[in-house]
Amino acid sequence: MFYSRKGKRFENYPHLAKAINQFEVFTGLMLDGEVFGKTFDDVTTVAHTKSGKDDKDLMYRVWDCMRVDEFSGGSCSRPLWERQKMLAEALAAVTPYCDRIQQAPGVLINDEKQLLQVFRDVRADGYEGLILKPLDGMYSYKRSRDWIKVKEMFTDEFKVVGFNKGKGKYAKCLGALVVRVGEVNVEVGSGFTDKQRVGIWAERKVFLGAMCEVKYQEKTKDGSLRFPTFLRWRPDKDEDDPVPF
C-alpha cells in the first residue's frame, strides 16, 4: 500500500504495488521514497486523479526503510547507514528482476566543493537537487534540521491581477496573490508575514497591477509555477507610478 507522509492512502499505483508485492523480501518493511516519472507532471497526473491513470511508466525510488513495527511504533534505533545497508540487501534480490524499484543513489560528501559539484551533476541528470543526511542520524518522523534540502530556485517579476481571501487563521485577510504568468493566472500563497497579509488585503485597490518578485522551483507544462513564494514588491518594475510599499 502507498501512503503520503500525512497518512493519505494512494490508490492510483496498481502496477507499482503489484511489482513490490511479488517480492517476499519486502514483507514487513516500510519503504520511504518517491514515485518518479519522466517529468513532475507525469507523477501528479496519476497521483491526484480519481479515475486511476495508468502508472506503468512510473518508478519508485527508495531512500530509506525499516521494519513496519519500528515505523508504526514511532521509534527506530537504527542509524541511517544501517538502514541503507538493510535497504541495499533487500533490493539486491529485486533489481535483477524489476528495474522499477530502485534505491535512490547516494554519495558521501566530504566538503563544500564536492557538494557543489555533485549538485551540478544531479541537476544535469534532471534531478531537482539533493537531500543531505548525517550517516549516524536517526529516522525523522517529521520535518527535521538533520535533513537539509539543496535545490535550485528561480526568481522573476510578475504583475498582480487578483487576490484570494484566506481561510482559517487568515479568514479576514490575504490568502494568496494572483499573478499573471504568460497566459496563466497563478496563486502565490506563501512568503508573507501576517502584517503583510492584513495590509495587502486592506489596500487591494492600491496593489492591483503592482509588480512583485516571486521565487519558484520550475515552470510546469501548463505554464504555472511550482512552489511559488512571494519575495518582495518591485515598484521599480511598475509601468505606471509606483504604489506606496
CATH number of 154-237: 2.40.50.140
For residues 180 and 158, the answer to whether their CB atoms sit within 8 Å is: yes
Residue 150 reports pLDDT greater than 60: yes
pLDDT tens digit sequence for 81-91: 999 999 999 99
What pLDDT sits at residue 53?
60
- DSSP letter string, 84-121: HHHHHHHHHTTTTT-TTEEEPP-----SHHHHHHHHHH
Residue 242 reports pLDDT greater than 50: no
What the block records as the C-alpha cell of 192 is 508573507
Domain residue extents for the chain: 7-151, 154-237
Average pLDDT, the chain: 87
Q: Give the largest Cα separation in the chain, rounded.
A: 68
pLDDT tens digit sequence for 190-201: 999 999 999 999
- The residue ranking higher by pLDDT, 245 or 76, is 76
pTM to 2 decimal places:
0.64
Q: How far is the CA of 165 from the CAs of 61, 171, 213, 233, 245, in angstroms?
A: 38, 7, 20, 19, 20
pLDDT tens digit sequence for 209-235: 999 999 998 888 889 999 999 999 988
What pLDDT sits at residue 224?
93
Residue 14 reports pLDDT greater than 90: no
- The residue ranking higher by pLDDT, 58 or 189, is 189
7-151 and 154-237 have identical folds: no
CATH number of 7-151: 3.30.470.30
